Chain A
């Protein structure tokens, strides 16, 4: 990973046509401006992670997988059931 320090107002060039500028810096957040060609996807990392996990999660569902998961969760060292029926009214 390239680690680089920038002040507000400074910028970084990436590849062909991507520019990242530091617009503002506050104690807890940095405001970035990103210039890139339309075909370059810009995405918050956690959104990509959530998308990938959801796709993998949806793929992996089958009866055997569910049964084996439940078995493992109930084995010693597995999940402790604390919340019961989450939708009990």
Chain B
């Protein structure tokens, strides 16, 4: 089985079927086209997207539904086609697609999730894309409850 050398998870074995393909990379990382999704019980519900091209590149993500239980995808027709999804409707995160929000951790300790531009993974084909949804009313810096100190009732 192929192995990946990672900065944070050591050497990991994976199979070709595990690889998530980003044909156009991600914004600001257009050359990063292959990732693994790493989930560990100790860090649930975090999903780590580990680059297979760059050992030190890993994104911390959360399933969008875990950040906002009412989250709805609003993928453009072009992005639906690029993801090889049914162009006539929005997919619902679950068995058909995974929708992950990339988390940014600030030096101050606060954390935000990019709900405006989720990473959408076609579960059947393992093809993925970070889609931009500027009109859906979500923030690219959605504050994570419990992260960064005082909550609303403290």
Contacts and interface: CB of A to CB of B under 8 A. Distances in A.
Contacts of A66: 8, 43, 46, 60
A2 B123 CA distance: 45
A53 interface: yes
Nearest to B30: A51
B132 A50 contact: yes
B85 interface: no
Contacts, number: 137
B77 interface: no
Contacts of B109: 65, 68
A57 B45 contact: no
Interface residues of B, number: 53
A74 B46 CA distance: 11
Interface of B: 8, 26-29, 37, 39, 42-47, 57-60, 62-63, 65-67, 69, 93-94, 98, 100, 102-107, 109, 111, 114, 116-117, 123, 130, 132-134, 140-141, 144-148, 151-153
Interface of A: 44-47, 49-58, 60-61, 63, 65-66, 68-70, 72-87
The 5 closest A-B pairs by CB, nearest first: A78-B146, A51-B28, A46-B134, A60-B105, A50-B27
